[in-house]
Chain A
Amino acid sequence: MRDLLRDLMDSASTRADYADVRHVRLREEAIAMRNGELDELDARDEEGFGVRVQLAGGWGFAAARGSDRAAAEEALARALAIAENQPRGDSQPLTAEPPAHGSYVSPVETDPFSVSLEDKLALLAEADGALRGERTVKVALAQLQSRFEEKLFASTDGALCEQRLTECGGGIEAIAVRGDDAQTRSYPASHGGSVAQAGWEHVLALGLATEAPRVAEQAAALLDAPRCPEGATTLILAGEQLALQIHESVGHAVELDRVLGYEASYAGTSWAPVGGAGSLRYGSDAMAITADATLPGALGSYRWDDEGVPAQSIPIVREGVLEGFLSNRQSAAEIGLERSGGCARAEGFARQPIVRMSNVSLDPGEGGSLAELLDGVKHGIYVESNRSWSIDSRRLHFQFGGEAAWEIVDGRLGRLLRDPVYAGVTPSFWGSLDAVCSADEWRLVSFTDCGKGEPGQLARVSHGCAPARFRDVDVGAA
Chain B
Amino acid sequence: MSATVELARRALAQADDAALATVTRERSTMLRFARSRPTQATSIDDLTVEIAVLRGGHVGRASTNRVDDDALAGCARASTLAAEAAAARAGEGHYPGFPAPATPRGHHGFDAETARLEPAIGGNALAAAFEVAERSSEGHGRASVELGGIWTAGDVETAIACSSGAELSDRVTDAFMKTIATAPSGRTGYAAQAAVTAAALDPAALAERAIAKATSPGEPASLEPGAYTIVMEPQAVLDLLWVLGQTAFDGLAHAEGRGALSGRMGTRVVSPAINLSDSPRFHATLPRAFDAEGTPKAPLPLIQDGVAHRVVHDTRSAAIAGGTATSTGHALVAGGQAAGPRPVNLVLIGGGAADEAELCAPVERGIYITRLWYANVLRPTDSLFTAVTRDGTFLIEDGRIARPLEDMRITDSALSILSHVQALGARSVLTCDGELYGRRFATGAVCPPLRAAGVRFTGSATRA
Residues of A within 8 A of B (CB): 31-34, 36-48, 58-66, 74-75, 78-79, 81-87, 89-90, 117-118, 121-122, 125, 138-139, 175, 177, 180-182, 261-266, 268, 271, 350-352, 354, 387-393, 396-397, 399, 401, 419, 421, 423, 425, 427, 451, 454-458, 478
Contacts and interface: CB of A to CB of B under 8 A. Distances in A.
B277 interface: no
Contacts, number: 269
Contact of B381 (A64, A180, A261, A354): A180
Nearest to B149: A265
B42 to A, nearest CB: 5
B38 A37 contact: no
A425 B387 contact: no
A265 B65 contact: no
Contacts of B130: 87
A121 B30 contact: no
Contacts of A455: 28, 30, 42, 44, 152, 436-437, 440
Contacts of B81: 117
Contacts of B57: 37
Contact of B63 (A43, A121, A396): A43
B192 to A, nearest CB: 10
Interface string B281-308: 0000000000000000000000000000
Contact of A122 (B89, B440, B463): B89
A199 B122 CA distance: 45
Contacts of A58: 38, 41
A83 B38 CA distance: 9
Contacts of A177: 256-258
B384 A87 contact: no
Contacts of B386: 388, 390, 399
Interface in B371-390: 373-382, 384, 386-388, 390
A416 to B, nearest CB: 17
A381 to B, nearest CB: 17
Nearest to B74: A45
B90 A59 contact: no
B40 A61 contact: yes
A460 to B, nearest CB: 14
A392 B88 contact: no
A44 B51 CA distance: 10
B462 interface: yes
Contacts of A38: 58-60, 83, 86, 90, 93
A387 B437 CA distance: 22
Interface of B: 28-35, 37-48, 57-66, 71, 74-75, 78-79, 81-83, 85-86, 88-91, 93-94, 119-120, 122-123, 126-127, 130, 146, 148-150, 152, 178-180, 182, 188, 256-258, 262-263, 338, 373-382, 384, 386-388, 390, 407, 409, 411, 434-438, 440, 458-464
Contacts of A261: 34-35, 146, 148, 182
Residue of B41, B126, B180, B438 with most chain A CB atoms under a 10 A cut-off: B41
A419 B382 CA distance: 13
28 contacts: A36-B90, A41-B86, A42-B63, A43-B79, A59-B40, A59-B41, A61-B43, A65-B46, A65-B66, A66-B65, A81-B43, A82-B42, A90-B37, A122-B89, A139-B258, A262-B148, A265-B32, A265-B149, A265-B180, A266-B435, A390-B387, A391-B388, A397-B409, A397-B461, A421-B378, A454-B30, A455-B28, A455-B152
B437 A82 contact: no
B378 A37 contact: no
Interface centre among B30, B48, B59, B149 (most CB of A within 10 A): B30
B180 A39 contact: no
Contacts of A427: 464
A264 B122 contact: no
Nearest to B154: A455
B5 to A, nearest CB: 19
B387 to A, nearest CB: 6
A442 B174 CA distance: 47
A82 B458 contact: no
Given A45-B64, A138-B258, A175-B256, 6 more contacts: A45-B65, A46-B63, A78-B45, A82-B29, A397-B388, A423-B409
B90 A125 contact: yes
A264 B64 CA distance: 34
A64 B33 CA distance: 23
Contacts of A419: 378-379
Contacts of B62: 42-45
Contacts of A60: 41, 43
A382 B47 CA distance: 47
A39 B86 CA distance: 10
B439 to A, nearest CB: 9
Contact of A82 (B43, B373, B375): B43
Contacts of A387: 378
B53 to A, nearest CB: 10
A454 B32 contact: yes
A346 to B, nearest CB: 11
A203 B440 CA distance: 32
A101 to B, nearest CB: 27
Given A38-B59, A261-B34, A390 B45 contact: no
Nearest to A74: B45
Contact of A388 (B89, B182, B376): B376
B43 A45 contact: no
Nearest to A428: B464
Q: Output the residue of A38, A121, A122, A182 with the most chain B CB within 10 A.
A: A38
A87 B38 contact: yes
B94 to A, nearest CB: 6
Give the residue among B58, B130, B382, B388 with the most A Cβ atoms within 10 A.
B388
Contacts of A425: 463-464
Given A138-B256, A350-B44, A419-B379, A121 B37 contact: no
